[in-house]
Structure 1
Amino acid sequence: MSSSVVVFTTPGCPYCKRAKQALSEQKVPYQEVDVSVNTELRAALKEATGERTVPQVYAKGTLVGGSDALLAKIADGSFTQLLSQASSSQAALPNMLSKAVQAADAAAAATSAAAPAAGTSLPEALQQVLSALSDPQSGVQRQPGSSSKPPSFTGKALLDWLVQHNSSSSSRSAAAAQAQQLLSANAITLVSDKQPSADEVAAVFDDEAHSYALRSEAVRAVPWGAALNTHFWWGPAAARPAEVVAEELRGRILALYDKHLSADGRAVSYAALKQDLEFWEYVDATAELQRVDLSPLSRESLMAFAINLYNALVIHALVVHGPQQYNSTTGRVGFFQKASKYNIGGYDYVLDDLENGILRGNSPAASTIGMLLKLPWLSKGPFKAGDPRAQHVVRPLDPRIHFALVCGAKSCPPIKLYSAATLEEGLSAAADTFCASDVEVDAAAKKVRLSKIFSWYFPDFGADKAARLRFLLPHLPADKQASLQQLLAADPAAKGISVEHKPYDWTINAAE
């Protein structure tokens, strides 16, 4: 390690941001290690610290702890004392952790080299053709666009231009082959009011009936209620496996979220995010979802896919439509049920569809009459009979998904990017972190205070009050667990245990 201080973090974690800001204010150089990707590294960190949460800070081989511990030790001077008293040659990490970091770095390099690429890359020669084609003066002549339509050109006009201006496609057949390559790389896209069939994007049609546009000129602003990833139609290139696409998108949006998170970790500038070119690269990447196939996904892969996309879509919609849409009950209904939408495999999914349709096994939403009356059988899930989306739902549901879809804890679980391989670890950590922060047990008063989530989705956590309280036990820290066990031992049916649900804070952490 090149620095005497190491901070173990995960992207998009406000408490990690706070710890790093505190070190910067003290002018203490540090090395950051992202634990979100590597399972072995997280296991080594948990073994060394006894904690599943991040950040975890080490200085001169000594564990400082999380964000709160670091701030306290800076305030009382013990952190400065630790740095000054330790030997200058003292390693930042214990040997076991240092080796785990080195192994994780090597694994990350190998994984990056082997990762499949999306259908958006072009050979250098074709990139030059595209650059010439795009030139406003000498490129292919476009028909003017509008606020909802990009400038466009016909298939015939494209092939005419390629024949006339490109020596490598002087014949009509060669021009058609080049046009096909541009279409396959999504450098040009078919202009259509509805999603085209595979046959319609199989090749560039040499006629006046089919219009095309440069992807770089796509109109990215989508109307309220339209799928946010349909600003252009994905071409003939096959999409990568669904879980790979979702993991990449979630990784991109997490990095952007982290980039625009304030130094104290308390607010995100969604306005700055909207001006970031990397955000619009993310938006372009979401178009691949139009062609993904959910059929091969296992239950675990489908869960990871839906969790990753749900969390990415929330941020995407907040950036595009603005956080002010979220500030009222009516606005939130529209946000979850209409505005936040992706086209996935040719079908529209709003946030409610991802949560209640896929992840909750097509169960009724919390806002339905049955759930509000605590009679869930009176209502149905979002996917009606005959809906093709009903073929891809998670059964049985895992109630821990609710903690993966919302982070309201005082520290962050180390996984914000899910895969089938890390699902159990991630859900367990998310549940532990959430419950440790949000569950209050008053043994003397025989009272348990819970998040409103446990009321909204009450059937997910157990058939009755006692079962729902027992669900909490493995996810509570030792002191709260002992108190709740004591209450349940004395009252197994929980008839005398009062359960109170705390008001839910819908505040968005927007800087604007």
Structure 2
Amino acid sequence: MKKRLIILVVILITGQGFSQGLNSFFTKADAFFKTNVANGKVAYSKIHSNPETLNEVLNIADGISVLKDDAKNYQAFWINAYNLSVIKGIVDNYPTNSPLDNKGFFDKTTHNLGGKKITLNDIEHKLLRGQFKDPRFHFVLVCGAVGCPPLIAQAYLPSTLDAQLEKQTKIALNGTFLKVNAKKKRVQASQIMEWYKGDFTMNGKTEIDFINKYRAEKLEGKFKLSYFPYDWKVNKQ
């Protein structure tokens, strides 16, 4: 009986510590984004001059372990961790004109997150896309370039995650991710939709079907789809 009580106490303490650590991460990440992001642009110069707050949030992120079965916490944690790590990568190489100007930015440089050393590509493709078939990830993972979806001035939170995913997908597909010529029945989409075509055409759907799910002004009839070049200039203020 005494042994069972000790085990129960350990479980409760461990769970409380996990909850506090994750909540602290979300709170500090939210404050960081609110302070340093405006209109989808990031104050890289200011962060570069004073990186302590960013480093503090990322240090907290390194000590957190969240299981994929806890889907909302897991997804929200890794989306924020990705966006913060992109900012960290640009700040560490600042000034820079583009994330691509820094060799291995996405596939070689590792970040200490969730108790592991991991690249940005591994977060996106293995931990998120590889575990959950949700194309909306493409509209919240921000690669530090103008062609990316806009970075929001708040953290993604487990309690609001689905609504945030929906909102950002709608913003993208009713905004700069598409160039529509209704008269000629032509639509140009961000190259994200070309690179990850499989994510947008699951279950027998077409890319136009996906677009119309989120677009206020539907693409009626047979539209010809093409893609416009990605803008890799850094998304700085």
Q: SS of the residue aligned with 2:34?
A: helix
Residue matched to 1:336: 106
Equivalent in 260, 281, 298 of residue 70 of structure 2: 298
Say if 2:93 is the partner of 1:357.
no
Per-residue CA deviations over 1:140-169 (Å, capped at 9, x if unaligned) read: xxxxxxxxxxxxxxxxxxxxxxxxxxxxxx
Residue matched to 1:220: none
State the shift of 1:270 in Å.
Answer: 2.4
Q: Which amino acid aligns with 1:291?
A: G
CA distance in 1: counterparts of 2:95 and 2:170, whole angstroms? 29
Are the counterparts in 2 of residues 241 and 293 from structure 1 also a CA contact under 8 Å?
Answer: no
Task: State the TM-score, normalized to the length of structure 2.
Answer: 0.77
State the shift of 1:508 in Å.
Answer: 0.9
Are the counterparts in 1 of residues 58 and 84 from structure 2 also a CA contact under 8 Å?
Answer: no
CA distance in 2: counterparts of 1:240 and 1:432, whole angstroms? 31
Q: Which amino acid aligns with 2:33?
A: L
Identity within the alignment, %: 24
Residue matched to 1:40: none
Residue matched to 1:32: none
Are the counterparts in 2 of residues 449 and 501 from structure 1 also a CA contact under 8 Å?
Answer: yes
State the shift of 1:239 in Å.
Answer: 5.4
Q: Which amino acid aligns with 1:349?
A: I
CA distance in 2: counterparts of 1:428 and 1:253, whole angstroms? 23
Q: Which amino acid aligns with 1:313?
A: S
Residue matched to 2:48: 274
CA distance in 1: counterparts of 2:121 and 2:140, whole angstroms? 15
Say if 2:225 is the partner of 1:507.
no
Residue matched to 1:446: 185
Say if 2:91 is the partner of 1:319.
yes
CA distance in 1: counterparts of 2:167 and 2:43, whole angstroms? 28
CA distance in 2: counterparts of 1:267 and 1:431, whole angstroms? 18
Q: Pick closer, same or farther for the CA change 1:248–1:506 going to 2, 3 Å.
A: same
Residue matched to 1:230: none
Say if 2:212 is the partner of 1:486.
no
Per-residue CA deviations over 1:76-100 (Å, capped at 9, x if unaligned) read: xxxxxxxxxxxxxxxxxxxxxxxxx
Q: SS of the residue aligned with 2:125?
A: helix
CA distance in 2: counterparts of 1:465 and 1:504, whole angstroms? 27
State the shift of 1:401 in Å.
Answer: 0.9
Q: Pick closer, same or farther for the CA change 1:288–1:273 going to 2, 3 Å.
A: closer
Are the counterparts in 2 of residues 323 and 510 from structure 1 also a CA contact under 8 Å?
Answer: no
CA distance in 1: counterparts of 2:152 and 2:45, whole angstroms? 27
Q: Pick closer, same or farther for the CA change 1:474–1:505 going to 2, 3 Å.
A: same
Q: SS of the residue aligned with 2:230?
A: coil
Moved more, 304-313 or 239-248: 239-248
Q: Which amino acid aligns with 1:425?
A: A
CA distance in 2: counterparts of 1:422 and 1:268, whole angstroms? 23
Q: Pick closer, same or farther for the CA change 1:466–1:281 going to 2, 3 Å.
A: closer
Equivalent in 160, 166, 177 of residue 428 of structure 1: 166
Say if 2:211 is the partner of 1:476.
no
Q: Pick closer, same or farther for the CA change 1:335–1:412 going to 2, 3 Å.
A: closer
1:73-472 correspondence to structure 2 within 5 Å = 240=19, 243-258=22-37, 268-276=42-50, 279-295=51-67, 298-324=70-96, 326=98, 329=100, 331-332=101-102, 334-339=104-109, 341-361=110-130, 394-395=131-132, 397-406=133-142, 416-437=154-175, 438-463=177-202, 467-472=206-211
State the shift of 1:408 in Å.
Answer: 6.1
State the shift of 1:460 in Å.
Answer: 0.6
CA distance in 1: counterparts of 2:154 and 2:164, whole angstroms? 8
State the shift of 1:337 in Å.
Answer: 1.7
CA radius of gyration, larger in: 1
Structure 2 regions of 5+ residues with no counterpart? 1-16
State the shift of 1:347 in Å.
Answer: 1.3
Q: Pick closer, same or farther for the CA change 1:485–1:246 going to 2, 3 Å.
A: farther
Q: Pick closer, same or farther for the CA change 1:245–1:334 going to 2, 3 Å.
A: farther
Are the counterparts in 1 of residues 21 and 60 from structure 2 also a CA contact under 8 Å?
Answer: no
CA distance in 1: counterparts of 2:189 and 2:68, whole angstroms? 37
State the shift of 1:287 in Å.
Answer: 1.9
Query: Would you say how many aligned residue pairs link Structure 1 and Structure 2?
Result: 217
Task: State the TM-score, normalized to the length of structure 1.
Answer: 0.38
State the shift of 1:446 in Å.
Answer: 3.0
CA distance in 2: counterparts of 1:427 and 1:266, whole angstroms? 16
Q: Which amino acid aligns with 1:485?
A: E
Root mean square deviation of aligned Cα? 3.1
Per-residue CA deviations over 1:31-80 (Å, capped at 9, x if unaligned) read: xxxxxxxxxxxxxxxxxxxxxxxxxxxxxxxxxxxxxxxxxxxxxxxxxx
